[in-house]
Structure 1
Amino acid sequence: MTYTNYGDGTSGDASEYVTRINQLALCGYTDWRLPTRQELMNIFDFGRITSPGIDTTWFLNTAAADHWTGDLDKRHSASAWDVNFEFGWSTSRAQTARKAVRLVRGSSTNGPRFTYSTVAYLDDGANNVVNDIWTGLQWRRCEQGRVWTGSVCTGAPISMDLDEALNHARAQSGWRLPNFKELVSLVDLSVSTGASIDAGAFPGARTDVVWSSTPYLGNVRTSRGISFFDGAVRAYPRSFDTSVRLVRSSP
């Protein structure tokens, strides 16, 4: 079955399906909902070569197709985000499109997320690191090549192809290139202008594509990156020159 995603309860819409499922108290629960994009991407298996890209022991009969999320596209009216379970892409689609639906229940992650600390790094000023309480990760506040002054990032980022990015990250003691799920956790789909990232934690962030360390197994000449213009997820040629943001695990 496929559904539209107007969110208005009309017949054939994902919202109408959610209402019916909760009226039936599926599995004894009445709080089912569409997942956020982050929640849906969290169950995609990026290490799986065969389709669909999910653990089929737990998620039987998953369609290798686009699945709706509950996240609307704030930059384009009448559009919402999906996740493709064949390739792992995530794209904004017209709400009129008919897509598969997988429901989830439970509260989304909420509460305070970011704190700041100082970690010695080249010419960076104080509070140059973002501590992500939700994930336990630490991020440099600036893309590589830029310098944190204590309040903002200055300078231009260094563009690197994937191999250059991996080698550069290895040379930074304790830091590394984030994997895809780590990087996508920074995307803020509620942003309608500027970079799709928390502007308080990452002021002046660029809207560039940022590399992840996660390859696209369908084509060894490509790897996964995220556009921080709108949060779109795609594979890019490994030779593509673009921005790098480093991460490390909290000590």
Structure 2
Amino acid sequence: MKKTEFKRAFLRISKLTAALAITGMTAFSTVAATNQSPQYSYSIVDTNQSVCTDAQNVLDECPTEKGKTGFGQDAQYQGRAPSYTRNNDGTVTDNHTGLIWAQTTDTNGDGKITAADKMTYDEAVAYASNLQLAGHSDWRVPTIKELYSLMMFDGEDPSGLNGAGTYSIRPFLDHEYFGFESGDLSAGERLIDSQYVSSTKYVSTTMNGDETVFGVNFIDGRIKGYGMKSPHGGEKTFYVMVVRGNTDYGINDFSNNNNGTVTDNATGLTWQQADSGAGMDWPAALEYCENLELAGNSNWRLPNIKELQSIVDYTKSPGTTNSAAIDNVFEVTPIFNEGETLDYPSYWSSTTHQNLKNGKNAAYMAFGRSLGNMNGEWVDVHGAGAQRSDPKVYEGIDYPQGHGPQGDAIRYSNNVRCVTDNATVFVAQPEAIERSTKQYILNGSEASIDSHKPRNQQDSKTKDRQEGQRQGHDPFTQMDTNNDGKLSRDEVRGPLKRDFDKLDTNRDGYLTRNELPQRPRK
């Protein structure tokens, strides 16, 4: 065990008694405390987050009392700390997942990682299938769950940088083990063009018809669905990191415990079967799980983002299966999305998505459409199964046209699904361990990505037009064919028809406006 790994394990054990006294939790075994939990076919590697935040800023100390903003966040729940072994043959083994990775994305072998190493999806698949590396020929393009296992959320998102200068940036990938680069600035790419391709195609489409593949951006810390056609012409290209081993990784094995919980035998995690039933901000989401009593257990917590991503079912989408991207064993509360379309919610994680300025954003997973406002229309731009991040609390600013170049919907309120297990350890004051950064020199030519205006910067004509569009696309009015002010079972469709009995709270055989799913604040 390396010195830093031993120090972290020792610190967790030494602080466990104090942590248990604060929370009233029962003692874990020494096996759990030292992070040597039993191996699972789908072991979730910890996010490596060790610094606490409140709703806005990075904190010197973590909150230590329930009810304090930020108590129970990712940094305070320590799981399997990332652990890698260099094999001295151009590969790296993940000691938790059993996956073996090519060490670099220098696919053309010229000793540099540049735009010339990037490939289209089809080129990447062909490259992996023909690769001979370290005496093996069974290489593959990783699935999105395999690729996401490498994410480390002690990274800092540099999105929005638009001034000349030298910046120290910590990527969301351990660049001391893996060859990593940002976008190739010398080739005209943006700093944030560090997208890695997966083998997982979106079962639906984005941008109203584009064939889409999921990828991980290891410099801005997100999962997105990327159109396979480049907006600049031709096909989109990506960095490619191939993998082999543990072909069961990412495959769930759910058991319905018939007590309101679901256990994934592949990961060792037990989940709340229903969700919160309503959206809330991030501090409230943490508190909701910390206070949950379910199935005789009070040790529930808000999942970190990698745990939450583990239950995404990438074979499903609202557009193809008329469902959330999750196994049918789970209950999902439908919503109306920003485009006034019946949809499914996103779910908060306990993980802060820090940028170079502050810690005001938290990461969440989209189990329904991941919307953006393109040319005045709300469309699925990133796909169900995308990982996004938005402000933890409502700041008094709305984005009716979205935010950023793809008009991303900004959601301050998301649903919640809590998790528990027997291996994760609560540490009241975790040791802050920082990985090294990489330096990048910008000449100021990069445009800021913050190109969409919030509501208080838009003119009144724009707001009036949007209000008219919302009124003209009122789904209740469209479905109320007999204009009686309520919806019968025969009038509703989609998720409303499937969840009719659940939503009909007064059991009168009709749905009123008050009984319909909520709309996210945007």
TM-score range, shorter chain: 0.7 to 0.9
Matched residue of 2:286: which SS? Answer: helix
Instruction: Tell me which residue corresponds to 2:201.
Output: 72
Deviates more, 1:92-101 or 1:103-112: 103-112
2:287 to 164, 167, 178: 167
In 2: Cα distance, 1:110 partner to 1:38 partner: 6
Matches within 5 A, 1:205-220: 206=334, 207-218=344-355, 219-220=358-359
Higher relative contact order (CA 8 A, sep 6+): 2
Instruction: Tell me which residue corresponds to 1:153.
Output: none
In 1: Cα distance, 2:290 partner to 2:155 partner: 25
After superposition, the CA RMSD in angstroms is 1.8
In 2: Cα distance, 1:111 partner to 1:166 partner: 27
* CA-to-aligned-CA distance 1:172-216 (integer Å, 9 cap, x gap): 2211100001000011111132100011x2144542010000001
In 2: Cα distance, 1:177 partner to 1:129 partner: 15
State the percentage of identical aligned residues. Answer: 30
In 1: Cα distance, 2:283 partner to 2:305 partner: 16
Matched residue of 2:349: which SS? Answer: strand
- 2:420 equivalent to 1:248: yes
1:102 to 230, 241, 245: 241
| Distance 1:205-1:38 versus aligned 2 partners, 3 A rule | farther
Instruction: Tell me which residue corresponds to 1:57.
Output: 176
- 2:310 equivalent to 1:190: no
Matches within 5 A, 1:70-149: 70-76=199-205, 78-95=211-228, 96-106=235-245, 107-109=247-249, 113-117=253-257, 126-144=258-276
| Distance 1:111-1:42 versus aligned 2 partners, 3 A rule | closer
- Larger of the two Rg values belongs to structure: 2
Normalised by the length of structure 1, the TM-score is: 0.82
In 2: Cα distance, 1:223 partner to 1:110 partner: 24
Which has a greater percent of strand? 1
Unaligned runs of 5+ in 1: 8-12, 118-125, 145-156
In 2: Cα distance, 1:62 partner to 1:108 partner: 26
| Distance 1:231-1:223 versus aligned 2 partners, 3 A rule | same
| Distance 1:104-1:216 versus aligned 2 partners, 3 A rule | same
C-alpha displacement at 1:109, in angstroms? 2.8
Amino acid in the other structure paired with 2:387 = V
| Distance 1:112-1:2 versus aligned 2 partners, 3 A rule | closer
In 1: Cα distance, 2:353 partner to 2:286 partner: 15
Deviates more, 1:32-41 or 1:166-175: 166-175
Matched residue of 1:169: which SS? Answer: helix
In 2: Cα distance, 1:216 partner to 1:111 partner: 26
In 1: Cα distance, 2:346 partner to 2:224 partner: 15
Matched residue of 1:63: which SS? Answer: coil
Instruction: Tell me which residue corresponds to 1:221.
Output: 360
C-alpha displacement at 1:232, in angstroms? 1.1
Normalised by the length of structure 2, the TM-score is: 0.41
C-alpha displacement at 1:40, in angstroms? 0.8
Matched residue of 1:28: which SS? Answer: coil
Unaligned runs of 5+ in 2: 1-116, 157-168, 183-193, 229-234, 293-297, 335-343, 369-383, 394-411, 424-522
In 1: Cα distance, 2:249 partner to 2:148 partner: 15
| Distance 1:71-1:112 versus aligned 2 partners, 3 A rule | closer
| Distance 1:45-1:80 versus aligned 2 partners, 3 A rule | same
Which has a greater percent of helix? 2
Matches within 5 A, 1:6-21: 7=122, 13-21=123-131
Is the CA contact 1:130–1:138 (under 8 Å) kept in the aligned structure 2? yes
In 2: Cα distance, 1:111 partner to 1:89 partner: 21
Matches within 5 A, 1:27-46: 27-46=134-153
In 1: Cα distance, 2:261 partner to 2:422 partner: 11
Instruction: Tell me which residue corresponds to 1:232.
Output: 386
Matched residue of 2:224: which SS? Answer: strand
Matched residue of 2:285: which SS? Answer: helix
Give the length in aligned residue pairs: 220
C-alpha displacement at 1:159, in angstroms? 1.5
Amino acid in the other structure paired with 1:54 = L
| Distance 1:36-1:231 versus aligned 2 partners, 3 A rule | same
In 1: Cα distance, 2:301 partner to 2:274 partner: 14
C-alpha displacement at 1:51, in angstroms? 3.1
Deviates more, 1:45-54 or 1:106-115: 106-115
In 2: Cα distance, 1:110 partner to 1:99 partner: 22
| Distance 1:132-1:205 versus aligned 2 partners, 3 A rule | farther
In 2: Cα distance, 1:111 partner to 1:225 partner: 21
Instruction: Tell me which residue corresponds to 2:305.
Output: 180
Is the CA contact 1:166–1:213 (under 8 Å) kept in the aligned structure 2? yes
Matched residue of 2:134: which SS? Answer: helix
C-alpha displacement at 1:57, in angstroms? 2.2
Is the CA contact 2:146–2:250 (under 8 Å) kept in the aligned structure 1? no
In 1: Cα distance, 2:138 partner to 2:222 partner: 27
Matched residue of 1:182: which SS? Answer: helix
Amino acid in the other structure paired with 2:119 = Y
Is the CA contact 1:195–1:205 (under 8 Å) kept in the aligned structure 2? no
